[in-house]
Amino acid sequence: MIERAWRLAPLILLVALAVAWQLPQAAWLSLAAPDPAVAGRMTATLDALGEEPRVLVGFDPDLGTYAETRPTVRALLAELLARDARLGFVSLTAEGRALASAELARFERAEADPSRLLDLGFIPGAEAGLVDLTRGIRVAGGEAGAFASEVIAGGIGAFNAVLVIGGNDLGPRSWIEQVAPRIGEVPFVAVTPTVLLPEVQPYVESGALRAVLGTPRDGAAYRESLDLDSLDRIAEPMEPRPFPILIGMLIAVAVLGQALGARALDGLRAARAREAA
Amino acid sequence: MRRPTLTALVVIVGLLLIADLLVVNSALGQLAGIVVDAAILVAAGAALAGVGALGARRIADLWRRRGDPVAATFVLVGIGVMLVAGLRPGSSGTGDPAVQWLIAALLVPIGASLFGLLFVTTLGAARRSLAMRSREATLLVAAAFVTTILLVPLSGEVGAWLSGVAGWSLAVPIGAVFRGLLIGIGLLTAVYAARTLLGMGAADD
């Protein structure tokens, strides 16, 4: 009976998620971290960049974890454009390049100012590619304008800050190890999936990374703190809904709890059987 | 068997890159640049070879009627469509609208769906691992159970408490284990690198 119900579980899950998706927002559910200190650190770092900063965006999320970071990434990029920043996108992984390409196409559809965006393409070689980036940046022939000229002339030195969108294959650690020692005092900030946080946290504590949005809760707190005005169209059209997330987590808790309970009962029965023998 | 040429190459390249990082010298920088360029070319070549090998393997599967023909066909069609979109005359490569559509409308949603399925398959794997009655599996699933409860997105005092404990568990026990693993991997890498530099093999142990 239980096994039959388990076979139907994916269908039940889909129906439950579809119903939860339609439920209105509830005050007792919140995705945002109660303590906005992490989000505040990101805002303070961006405040210190000055007017019209040039930001190098190392865009290397992976398909598996991008769903977790995507709302925060889009909000942060929209916030940078709202601050009149100019963004140069470079990727060092194939998945990162694919996602960067999709995001750049999305910028185009959202009618973002093209003079503030620069596609620096894909550099193979991961860490070797990062080292190469510090020696000079090649701008594709199709890219023109003042921003492209500044980057061609100044290389990585033309940028006032580095934003790393990390993933499983390449994250802030590689940037801090390979790029930071070669370019001097340029602030690094990052958005990463939670799985990278343990390896990234020491860099935040040491100051090598000025700010990191590394959990969904910190990302949600940061998004709540933003006022993007007209550039709201560049951010995610809809915030992640907490009800489907809650339903999924409760199902996970129920399934894991049932399995653990069954395992504990088995252990107890086995212990009693040994005592009886 | 020792390979003195390979060891010498590793020593020279390693020292060159370290020296380039520490010393400001134009000639040294150019030399290090050649090495870095070579590494990038090798990586790009390896990536292309990987895709080529995947395609060749799937063609061989179809030719010899082994494996899953539907999957092999999908892989080959996927590679072919992306190559045609990006390399056809007049295409602007990865910035071409056709390539961007393939990525945004197909690749990203399909990838996200596959990873979304991990929710169901991971729960199934957790149940099966518990059925094997191993202590490690029980510990793993119990930790996942507790962590999932801590991440429930409640607001108010309960939510703040859960969030605080989740943050602590991520920063202290999980962080400690994770960093311990990273330090261990780092030490092993250093030992292995030193053995390579010194030309030491299993026969020397």
For residue range B99-145, list pLDDT tens digits in order: 888 988 888 888 888 888 888 899 989 989 988 888 899 999 999 99
- Residue A106 domain-assigned (yes or no): yes
Structure tokens at B26: 């134009």
Instruction: Note whether A101 and A147 are same-domain residues.
Output: yes
Q: In terms of domains, do A87 and A222 share one?
A: yes
Nearest to A82 by CA among A90, A74, A94: A74
* A2 belongs to a structural domain: no
Is residue A68, in this structure, part of any structural domain at all? yes
Structural domain contains residue A205: yes
What pLDDT score does A143 carry? 67
Number of domains chain A is built from: 2
Q: Which residues of B155-173 are buried (b: 16+ CB within 10 A; e: fewer)?
A: beeebeebbeebbebbeee
Instruction: Verify that A112 and A169 share a domain, yes or no.
Output: yes
Asked if B156's CB is within 8 angstroms of A182's CB, the reply is: no
Shared domain check, A57 and A171: yes
Residue A112 sits in the same domain as residue A214: yes
Q: Residues of A214-251 as b/e, b for ≥16 C-beta within 10 angstroms?
A: bbbbbbbbbbeebeeeebeebbeeeebbbbbbbbbbeb
A201 in any annotated domain: yes
Residues A176 and A269 in one domain: no
* A266 and A190 assigned to the same domain: no
* A12 domain residue, yes or no: no
Residue A24 per-residue DSSP state: P
Q: What is the pLDDT of residue B141?
A: 93
- Asked if B150 reaches chain A (Cβ–Cβ under 8 Å), the answer is no
Residues A75, A121: one domain? yes
Residues A170 and A273 grouped into a single domain: no
| A128 contact residues in B (CB cutoff 8 A) | 36, 39-40, 43
The predicted structure's pLDDT at residue A254? 93
Residues A248 and A162 in one domain: no
**CATH number (domain holding residue A54):** 3.40.50.10160
Contact B178 A198 (CB under 8 A): yes
- Is A28 within a domain? no
Residue B1 pLDDT > 60:
no
The reply to whether A144 and A222 lie within a common domain is yes
Q: What is the pTM of this model?
A: 0.88
Helix axes A66-82, A216-224, angle to 10 degrees: 30
What's the pLDDT score for residue B131?
Answer: 86
| Better-predicted residue by pLDDT, B24 or A86 | A86
- Which of B29, B156, B179 lies at the smallest CB-CB distance from A198? B179
**Host domain of residue A264:** 241-277
Residues A58 and A176 in one domain: yes
- On whether residue A32 sits in a domain, the answer given is no
Quote the CA–CA distance of A146 and A116 in Å, as a whole number: 9
Rounded alpha-carbon distances, angstroms, from residue B73 to A28, B106, B109:
49, 16, 20
Residue B4 has pLDDT above 80, yes or no: no
